[in-house]
Amino acid sequence: MTALILNPAQRKQQRALAHHLDPVVLVGGDGLTPAVLKEAELALASHGLIKVRVFNDDRALRETFLQQLAADLNAAPVQHIGKLLVLWRPLEEKPRAAPREDRQAGPRVVKLLTVAGSANQRPQVRKVTILGNQRVTAGGLIKRGKKRNTTSVKKRQS
């Protein structure tokens, strides 16, 4: 895979967005292992813009890590500053789920619990059908939703 290429304006924008990020992938003494590549892939898939911290003092080696990560993960190298590497890849569009049939507006059955008057009696449970424009109050009463008034007070008076 080839790395994405950013123009200077896009790179500047991504650097600004990455400024406040913390490193999510750490590269230790073993270098770019398959586990590190897998974690970087997961982080890019979920965040799109990530920082990688490399615990190595060799600048040339860190530069090769940046290029290798960008090539392997199909990402754009944004910045290499000190021991931090910044990578960016556009997030994939997630397909939207179709609305579920059981979530439509309509009548629903609600259980109401009425507390008994004395301690010797059991509480009463009754099932009530609630329509879409009704609600149950804290006291167990059913209130119908009021129609919203769209005319102003001045227009209603005249």
Encode pLDDT of 13-47 as tens digits: 999 999 999 999 999 999 999 999 999 999 999 99
- Angle at alpha carbon of residue 67, lines to 39 and 26, rounded to 5°: 35
pLDDT score, position 119: 78
The pLDDT tens digits of the residues spanning 110-136 come to 888 877 778 788 888 888 888 777 878
pLDDT score, position 105: 64
pLDDT score, position 21: 94
pLDDT score, position 63: 96
Tell me, letter by letter, the H, E, C secondary structure of the chain.
Answer: CCCCCCCHHHHHHHHHHHCCCCCCEEECCCCCCHHHHHHHHHHHHHHCEEEEEECCCCHHHHHHHHHHHHHHHCCEEEEEECCEEEEECCCCCCCCCCCCHHHCCCCEEEEEEECCCCCCCCCEEEEEEECCCEEECCCCCEEECCCCCCCCHHHHHC
* Token duo for residue 136: 């149950």
pLDDT score, position 116: 77
Q: Per-residue pLDDT averaged across 93-122, rounded?
A: 78
More confident position, 104 or 109? 109
Q: Per-residue pLDDT averaged across 66-73, rounded?
A: 94
pLDDT score, position 122: 86
Q: Per-residue pLDDT averaged across 125-151, rounded?
A: 78
pLDDT range class, residue 68, cuts 50, 70, 90: very high
pLDDT score, position 103: 64
Contact 29, 56 (CB under 8 A): yes
Residue 84 pLDDT greater than 90, yes or no: yes
pLDDT score, position 89: 94
